[in-house]
Amino acid sequence: MMKMMILAPRRPGMSHAEFRRYVVDVHGPLVRSVPEVADAIRHYHYNFPIAGASDTAFHFPTAHHLDIVTQGWFDSREAQLENMAQPRYFEIIRPDEHRFADGANAVMHYTAEVPVSAGADGGTKVFYFRRRRPHLSREAFQSEWRTRFADALIATRGFRETVASYVQNHTLPEADHPNGASDRFFDVIDELVIHSPGDLRRIADVGGSLSRVRAIEADLLEPSRTLALVTERVVNIP
C-alpha cells in the first residue's frame, strides 16, 4: 500500500473557510462521481487546520501556509499514476483542482507508512513535517527516525495517555529526486492521532522526560525545517 500526501495552500483570493467548503461540498463529491477514478482509491482523507491550535507539546512552528493535507491510499504508486492518467480525471477532476488550490505551491509526496503505535484512527491529527540534516542521506535519516526517535517518543511522559496512534510516513524516492535533494520535500511526515488539541500539553517535559527526544532531534533534524499542523480529518472515501 502506498500513501499519497498532498500539502497544499488555497488559491489566492479565497478564504480558508471558502476553500474548505469547496473541497468538502464540491471537489470531494466530484471525485466520487467518477467511478474509474474513485474505485482505485482505497481511502481518501482531507485534513484541515484547526483554527488557533498549535504544537503545545514540542513547540514547533505551525505550517500556516498550508490549508490542507490530503491523503490518498493506493495499492501502489503505479496504481496511483494510472489513476491520474484516466481520461476523465483530466477532463473532470484535474481542472477543478485549480479552482481551489494553489497548484504552483502544492507539493505531493509518495510515502510508505511505518506504524509505530497502533490504535484508534480518530478525527484529530497532528502532522510533523521533518527534514534531515544535510550530511545524512534520506535512507539513513529514515532508519534512525524509525528506531531511535520512535522509541524515545513513546517513552516520554504522557505519550500513551495522549496519542491514540502514531504513524511515520517515509517519503519514497522519485526519478527526479531519488535521495530527496530538493528542499521542497520532507523526508518523514509524522502523523499522531490525538483525542483533542488540548491533549498535546499532556506530553510535558516534566523532569526532563523530553530530553532524549530533543537530543535525537538535534542530531538528525535540519534546524528550522520541522513544522507542525494540528488538523481535523474529513473522510471522503472510507
* pLDDT score at 29: 97
The total of structural domains in the chain comes to 1
Structural domain harbouring 193: 2-237
Tell me what pLDDT residue 175 has.
64
What mean pLDDT is reported for the chain? Answer: 94
DSSP string, 151-177: HHHHTSTTHHHHEEEEEEEEEPPBTTB
Range 34-45 average pLDDT: 96
Which three cell numbers, joined as nine digits, stand for 148?
531511535
CB-CB neighbours of 159 under 10 Å: 19
Average pLDDT for residues 55-65, to the nearest whole number?
Answer: 95
pLDDT band for position 177 (50/70/90)?
low
The pLDDT, as a whole number, for residue 151 is 96
Strand partners of residue 178 = none
CATH number at residue 36: 3.30.70.100
Q: Mark out the alpha helices in 170-233 (DSSP H runs).
A: 211-220
Mean pLDDT along residues 48-66: 96
| Whether the Cβ atoms of residue 155 and residue 201 lie closer than 8 Å to each other | no
Q: How far is CA 47 from the centre of its chain?
A: 8
Number of C-alpha atoms within 13 angstroms, CB side, residue 11? Answer: 13
